[in-house]
Chains A and B, each alone.
Chain A
Amino acid sequence: MTKLLSMNRRNFLQASAAGLAAGVAPGLIGSPALAQTALTVGFIYVGPKDDYGYNQAHAEGAAVIKKMPGITLVEEENVPETVDVQKTMASMINLDGATLLFPTSFGYFDPHMLAMAAKYPKIQFRHCGGLWTEGKNPANTGSYFGYIFQGQYLNGVTAGYASKSKKIGFVAAKPIPQVLQNINAFLLGARSVDPTITCQVIFTGEWSLAVKEAEATNALVDQGADVITCHVDSPKVVAETAAGRGAFVCGYHANQSALAKDKYLTGAEWAWGNVYTNFIKAAQSGGKLGNFVRGGLKDGFVKMSPLGPAVSAEGRKKFEATLAEIMAGKFSVFKGPIKDNKGNVVITADKAYAEDAIDLESMAYLVEGVVGSTS
């Protein structure tokens, strides 16, 4: 009964909101152009938005669009990847009047965002990281992501010069394609400097587990890894623990140089402000929002932290040369021949994937030289 009641209330609110938009609003606001620019945008984060990591990168992007005229920003942090996120979306739509939603965490996509998109066909949903498929997923949904593995490749280049033990380490959350891309790119970058380098990976199994991340970092350093990077939601613990043990740190998501100080080599950072600005401009001008938006370093989706003092002159030269090639669109991180760490050829010699190759988004292997397993 309660459920029924709340449904009714929701439908009522929805109907009255629709009525407002259709009938009352144009009467009140004279010019249609002005009506177009007013837009309520909802951002949903899986963790705290000042975590030195994934959520902070998105929140910094949201802060950029907040300054744009006509934008009302609603945000909610610490929303689990469960039915909770559906409730958050419903409340943003029904109570705050949001018409464009950015659920930013990987696990929000399927089934939660897709279910809500089917229920609210007039609301636009754009998800970070999901693999939107035309025909399969609703037209009012879409996904955006950046080729941050290019940044991890450059991280690897600096790691290759900094490592004395020829062993580098990676603390990873879950073996999903985007994480595997980063691990592989990190090692390939290091191997472009010295092909004998190996990369040890430890999966923690969750996006945010402070104690386990610290244990994993310690275990990597114990095994001789002297450059550490990671792909977890908040790299704060990994960066501090690794630097505390005397290992070099390559950052991820955001700039952690304040945490690792002179042990910080460089870092692969998001530049979501540009991406969100484009979405908002399209929405405000009545244009079509892209359903499948991707970009890398040259598109301004991703940026690198300034190089730290521990990067040698030689390392700096190679880093800048590689970066210039990437910016010119002439560089391929995943260029055959590449074997996986079980000995199978995964990319043949005649193939060189551009960063936007769709095959890369379903990567399920670790390349030769990575010590670890995807299951």
Chain B
Amino acid sequence: MEDTGIGLWGVPLAIFAGAIRVSTPFIFVSLGETITERSGRINLGLEGTLVFGAMTAYAVAVMTGSPTLGVLAAMATGAMFGTIHGWICKWPKVNDIAIGIAMMQFGLGLAFFLGKSFIQPVAPKLPSIPLGSWSAVPQVQAALNINVLFFIGAALALFLWWAFKNTRVGLILRVVGDSTDAARAMGISPDRVRLLATAAGGSLAAIGGAYLSLYYPGSWNEGISSGQGLMAVALVIFARWNPIGCFLAALLFGGAGALGPALQSVGVTQGYYLFYAAPYVLTLIILIATSSPTRALAGAPGALSLTK
């Protein structure tokens, strides 16, 4: 009997690998939502954008044979969804949360409708970078097969963190997000900034969808997302609107999500439903631990309707 298992080491390895594999959609959706919310608007519709992006990317990859084109097409549709949201929300007395929910349902329905004929075909997958060739253990090699989108997401988190503080665009975004009146006084059009911020957010969320359908798990069907877009919106609040926080929170979620299957695979088989709840329990614990009765949510953009 040839033993190729890696025993208990499988658990930390699975959490590490899972953190990288599962987190990427969370990273992109939460970074996108951070941009939108920093401008003072909430787009709850990113779940719909994510799924529509997944469908578009898959469909375009099937038709053209190029996963890269698929990602670009997804970005374009994501930007379109964001633009629709931003455009509707500029009208007076329109509630952005309600529009977000409507856009979510619209995106899901449209994706299911248009994606019908793409459930069967197999699309070419996005390439990954084999960083594990130094290791002789195939499990480690597999865990270190990392998709290029993950690195782009990490770099983007760093860039946004820097850009919010140090660039003109970042400053404009934050002014609009913190005080609509101050922005107007400065001669900035808040509606236009928010429109662009929502479009950019949608475009990023759609990349998350493309990752789902073109890399991991790498298939298009109607249950592909199972609520990841919604979770990512919640992650933004959890990460206090900080891009680097979003990145870390996404990793945490990915890793905690891998815990359930990994524990079962090493023989800890009792109570797996409980382990599957790990990401949510973890969120609750961190939120409670970091909450304070004396101050409001630190880092929340002032014009965000969440805090009104």
Contacts and interface: CB of A to CB of B under 8 A. Distances in A.
Contact of A51 (B119, B264, B276): B119
B14 A224 contact: no
Contacts of A51: 119, 221
Contacts of A236: 219, 221
A221 B266 CA distance: 11
Contact of A373 (B7, B224, B257, B270): B270
Interface in A328-375: 371-373, 375
A167 B10 CA distance: 15
A167 B6 CA distance: 13
B119 A224 contact: no
Nearest to B269: A373
A159 B149 CA distance: 36
Given A234-B221, A373-B270, A211 B4 contact: no
Interface string A189-210: 0000000100011111100111
Interface size grouping (class) on chain B: 35 or more
Interface string B207-244: 00000100011110111101010000000000000000
A222 B258 CA distance: 13
Contacts of A148: none
A300 B300 CA distance: 63
Interface string A235-269: 01100110001100000000000110000000000
Nearest to B265: A219
Contacts of B2: 164-166
B91 interface: no
B14 A213 contact: no
A185 interface: no
B184 interface: no
B134 interface: no
A201 B264 CA distance: 8
Contacts of A218: 14, 17, 21, 142, 261
Contacts of B212: 210-211
B262 A219 contact: yes
Contacts of B14: 215, 218-219, 222
Nearest to B6: A222
A166 B5 CA distance: 11
Contacts of A373: 269-270, 272
A78 B222 contact: yes
Of the listed residues A167, A215, A372, the one surrounded by the most CB atoms of chain B closer than 10 A to its CB is A215
A210 B224 contact: yes
B4 A241 contact: no
Nearest to A164: B2
B116 A210 contact: no
B55 to A, nearest CB: 12
Interface size grouping (class) on chain A: 35 or more
A225 B122 CA distance: 25
Contact of B216 (A205, A209, A214): A214
A82 interface: no
B222 A222 contact: no
B219 A219 contact: no
Contacts, number: 142
B122 A203 contact: no
Of the listed residues B10, B257, B261, the one surrounded by the most CB atoms of chain A closer than 10 A to its CB is B261
Nearest to B224: A210
A372 B260 CA distance: 13
Nearest to A212: B261
A48 interface: yes
B2 to A, nearest CB: 6
Given A222-B10, A222-B13, A224-B4, A214 B217 contact: yes
B264 A203 contact: yes
Contacts of A223: 5-7, 10, 265-266
B139 interface: yes
Interface in B123-150: 138-139, 142-143
Interface string B247-280: 0000000000110111011110111110010000
A48 B222 contact: yes
Contacts of A200: 264-265
B265 A220 contact: yes
Contacts of B224: 210
B18 interface: yes
A215 B272 CA distance: 14
B261 A210 contact: no
Nearest to A239: B219
B251 to A, nearest CB: 15
Contacts of A221: 139, 142
Nearest to B11: A219
Nearest to B223: A208
A304 interface: no
Contact of B217 (A164, A166, A237, A246): A237
A47 interface: yes
A84 interface: no
A213 B261 CA distance: 9
A196 B267 contact: no
A114 interface: no
B10 A372 contact: no
B58 to A, nearest CB: 12
A220 B221 CA distance: 23
A213 B226 CA distance: 12
Nearest to B259: A215
A96 B302 CA distance: 54
B1 interface: yes
A242 to B, nearest CB: 12
A230 interface: no
B22 interface: yes
Given A258-B122, A375-B271, A222 B217 contact: no
23 contacts: A51-B119, A166-B2, A200-B265, A202-B261, A202-B264, A205-B273, A205-B276, A209-B226, A212-B276, A215-B14, A215-B257, A215-B260, A215-B261, A218-B21, A222-B5, A222-B139, A222-B143, A223-B265, A224-B3, A240-B218, A371-B267, A371-B269, A375-B271
Lowest 5 CB-CB distances: which A-B pairs, in order? A224-B5, A373-B269, A214-B217, A219-B265, A224-B4
Interface of B: 1-7, 10, 13-14, 17-18, 21-22, 112, 116, 119-120, 122, 138-139, 142-143, 212, 216-219, 221-224, 226, 228, 257-258, 260-262, 264-267, 269-273, 276
